[in-house]
Amino acid sequence: MSFTPGLEVNLAALCVGAPILALFVFVGAALYAFVREQAQNQPASDHQSVLAAYDVDRLSQSAFRQLVGEALHRRGYTVVLPQSDAGEGDWGMDLVLSKEGRRYFALVVHYPRTVSLATVELAEARRKQFGCDSAMVITNGSFQPQAQRRAAALGHRLIDRSALAELLT
């Protein structure tokens, strides 16, 4: 069959070729989606391996604070364990940091679950108590949405499980 002089079309070849082409496009798209998903999941598994190497979830609160303090020191912070007021302990959670002329209060919370708004409020109170410019809350867990909103409003930094893994590397 000829539509244009000199151009012949084989309908049988089109009937077989079109589905094969569609199959190649489908397989290619599925392969691309799979590779992309694997690449996105890779950092999470890397984070898990970093946290597992330090056995983060099994540390005591004071050992966790020590680990975080050492990691912050490697990042250029001067790290001090503050002296708490008489009768008011820090439960092994407080660090006072300084870097480039600024002071930061860090509330280090070894809690592999969701950290609440009250913890962010405690960090703010302790920041004021120690005369720091800003505060951060560091945990091996995550943060409630209310805690995230409050920290953002205060200008405080929240370091969750995945950011902790980056801090430790």
The reply to whether 25 and 77 lie within a common domain is no
The reply to whether 23 and 68 lie within a common domain is no
Adjacent-strand bridge partners of 149: none
What's the token pair of residue 139? 């945990």
Which domain range does residue 30 map to?
Answer: 1-53
Please say which residue of 53, 68, 90 terminates a domain. Answer: 53
The reply to whether 89 and 123 lie within a common domain is yes
Give the predicted TM-score (pTM) of the model: 0.70
The residue-averaged pLDDT of 132-156 equals 97
The residue-averaged pLDDT of 51-64 equals 91
**What domain count does the chain have?**
2
> Is the pLDDT at 144 greater than 60, yes or no?
yes
The CA-based dihedral angle spanning residues 164, 80, 82, 127, taken in that order and rounded to the nearest 10 degrees: -60
The reply to whether 64 and 27 lie within a common domain is no
> Is the pLDDT at 162 greater than 90, yes or no?
yes
Region of 76 on the Ramachandran plot (φ > 0 left; ψ -120 to 50 alpha; else beta): left
The reply to whether 67 and 118 lie within a common domain is yes
Q: What is the CA angle 2-24-13, rounded to 5?
A: 20
Q: Summarize pLDDT for 74-99 with one digit per residue, the tens.
A: 999 999 988 764 445 556 689 999 99
The reply to whether 46 and 61 lie within a common domain is no
| Confidence (pLDDT) at 27 | 62
| Confidence (pLDDT) at 23 | 66
The reply to whether 9 and 38 lie within a common domain is yes
| Confidence (pLDDT) at 17 | 63
> Is the pLDDT at 152 greater than 90, yes or no?
yes
Per-residue HEC secondary structure of 12-31 comes to HHHHHHHHHHHHHHHHHHHH
The reply to whether 60 and 39 lie within a common domain is no
- Evaluate whether 159 touches 167 at the Cβ level (below 8 Å): yes
The reply to whether 81 and 108 lie within a common domain is yes
